Amino acid sequence: MAIKTILIIEDDRFIGEMYVRSIKKAGYDIDWMVDGNDGLIAARNKVYDLILLDVMLPERRGTDILDALRGGKEDLIPHTKVLVLTNFEQDDESRMAMEKRADGYLIKAEITPSKLLSVIAQLDQPTA
């Protein structure tokens, strides 16, 4: 299943616009949500191929969103991959918990948009 539709939940305008711009340019469909509540609603209402999830978000943290989507008995987004993108230094436990439920965990300061695109392309590979 090739990745086509992407949801990004990111509250920083500069960073959000930056990713949206290059992801769009690379030919994906991307929706951008700024706060955690809207992000969760969007993720529940539409089946995305990939969600790019920030951790420090207004209204609802990225950890809570991931919990809501994948923390229960049933995986609510079985057809969606999740990539956590954060600059926040989480403590080990919560980082491990997120890594377990997500398909990738990246520090934003360490990647550039083109690096992100190559990671997305990689995510496409293994299961395809």
Partner 1 sequence: MAVNTPQRFARDFWPYFNRIVASVIVLTQLITTIIIAGSLYMLGYAEENLPVFAGILIAQAVLGIIGSLIIARVLARPIHDLLAAIIHVSGEPTTTTPPNPNDSRFAKSGFKDVLQTIYELASDDKQPTQPVVTAPEPGTIVESNLPAHATPTTMLEAALDETVCGFVVMDHDRKITFSNKAAPINIDQNGVAMLSLIFNGQETLDVWLDDCDKNAVHAEHTWQRIGNKLPEEEGRRIFDVMASYDKGAASEVVLTLIDRTGLYSVGEQDLDFIAFAAHELRGPITVIRGYLDVLEDELKDVLKDDQHELFRRLTVSANRLSGYINNILNTSRYDRRHLRVHLVETSVTDVYDVIRDDMDLRASAQHRLLAVTIPGDLPNIAGDPASLSEVFGNLIDNAIKYSNEGGAINVSAEQKGDTVEIAIEDHGIGMPSSVIGNLFQKFYRSHRSRETVAGTGIGLYISKAIVESHGGTIAVRSEEGRGSTFIVSLPTYQSVADKLKAGDNSNEGLIEQNSGWIKNHSMYRG
Task: Give CA–CA dist 47/28, Å, rounded.
Answer: 14
**Beta carbons of 68 and 57 less than 8 angstroms apart:** no
Amino acid at 74: E
Question: Judged by CB, which is closer to partner 1: 4, or 88?
Answer: 88
**Binding of partner 1 at residue 72 (CB under 8 A)?**
no
Tell me phi and psi for residue 97, to 5 degrees: -60, -40
61: exposed, middle or buried (Cβ count in 10 Å: 0-12, 13-18, 19+)? middle
**Binding of partner 1 at residue 97 (CB under 8 A)?**
no
Q: Which of 71, 87, 104, 119 binds partner 1 (CB under 8 A)?
A: 87
Q: Which two tokens stand for residue 17?
A: 């616009």
**Binding of partner 1 at residue 79 (CB under 8 A)?**
no
Binding to partner 1, residues 1-40 (CB under 8 A): 12, 14-15, 18-19, 21-22
Question: Judged by CB, which is closer to partner 1: 41, or 96?
Answer: 96
Q: Which residues of this protein are in contact with partner 1, per CB under 8 A?
A: 12, 14-15, 18-19, 21-22, 87-89, 92, 96, 107-110, 112-115
